[in-house]
Amino acid sequence: MPEDPSLYLIWTTNENGTHYTVVSADSDILSGGENPDMGFLTLVDQREQLHTNIELARDNRETKRSNATLLRWGTIGLLAGGVVCTIASGGLCGLALIGIAATSFFASTQEDSDAEVYQNSVDSELEQLRTVEGDLRFRQRIAQSTETGG
């Protein structure tokens, strides 16, 4: 806290609102004591990192989704061209266009697969985020029972 550097104000938010607790700077709540990975400050850093990773994975997923959609519409456009060409000329141009459309379609399925890989990353990191946020609330409940809380 600016007026007293020996104190920290920590808070967590849940469906009941935001809960504040004042802890001393050398508190095990902040450092984690014998388990530094469970320190409040470490958990806050982990939460920030997970947020960044999730947003990055989501952006990558959306890029892959857009590419897949574009390639699929390319496939549909080629097939529609094939329909018109077959009706108009009755020739083999339709078969040639089916071949080209197949290439575009398989490229779109690759982009779809990549998008699903990014989606798996998003799901996995969202799960980690829930765990970290649960740990943060747990640390704060301990703080409230041992320090000055509100």
Partner 1 sequence: MLILIWVIVWNSIFAITTGQLLVGIVGGVVGLALIGMAIEGSFMRKLEGREVPDLALLMLGLIILVLVYGEIRDLIINDLEFLGEFYLPGLIALIRILGSFGLAALLIWETFKLMRKPLP
**Paired strand residues for 24:** 7
Of 120, 115, 139, 117, which is closest to residue 47 (Cα–Cα)? 139
- Are the C-beta atoms of residues 29 and 36 closer than 8 Å to each other? no
Our CB check for partner 1 shows the closer of 43 and 78 to be 78
The yes or no reply on residue 132 touching partner 1 (CB under 8 A) is no
The yes or no reply on residue 124 touching partner 1 (CB under 8 A) is no
Task: Candidates 1, 9, 25, 83: give the one binding partner 1 (CB under 8 A).
Answer: 83
Task: Candidates 67, 121, 128, 144: give the one binding partner 1 (CB under 8 A).
Answer: 67
The yes or no reply on residue 70 touching partner 1 (CB under 8 A) is yes
Which residues contact residue 58 at a Cβ distance below 8 angstroms, ignoring those fewer than 6 apart? 118, 122
The yes or no reply on residue 117 touching partner 1 (CB under 8 A) is no
